[in-house]
Amino acid sequence: MKVVLPDKNIKTIDFTSVSIEQILLDLGINPLEVIVSRNGTLVSEDMIVGNDDEIQIIRIAHGG
């Protein structure tokens, strides 16, 4: 599965079944500080994703 990180770098990970929340925790990211989309659509983080999915992680900028 392709994961687009907040810094736009791409990471490929392989697994059988995992929630988006777990992916974030494995990457050391607090789920409250990012928004995640799967194949271009916003999804709730308890969603279990598959190996064919593309996940994009967007960091929420602070301020005004």
Partner 1 sequence: MKSESVRPTVPKCTFCENPAIVYRKEVNHHLCKTHFIADVELRVISNIEKKTLISDGDRIAIALSGGKDSTALLLLLYRLLPCWNDVHLIAITIDEGIAGYRVETIRSAQRLAHQFDIEHRIISFDDIYGNTLDSLLRGKESQACSICGILRKKALDKGARDVGATKLATGHNLDDEAQSALMNVLRDDLPRLVRNSSTMKSPYFIPRIKPLSDLSEKDIATYLLIQDAWTDLPECPYTHNALRREVRSMLSDLEYRYPGTMLRIMDSKRKIEHYLSGIEITEPLRHCKECGDPSSGEVCQVCLIKRSFSH
Size of the site for partner 1 (CB under 8 A): 29
Report the site for partner 1 in 5-64 (rule: CB under 8 A): 14-17, 30-33, 35, 38, 41-53, 58, 60-64
Distance CA 13, CA 57 (A): 14
Shortest separation between residue 38's beta carbon and partner 1, angstroms: 7
Beta strand 54-59 with 2-4: parallel, antiparallel or unpaired? parallel
Shortest separation between residue 42's beta carbon and partner 1, angstroms: 4
Shortest separation between residue 53's beta carbon and partner 1, angstroms: 6
Which residues are within 8 A (CB) of 48 and not within 5 positions of it... i.e. 6 or more apart?
A: 17, 18, 19
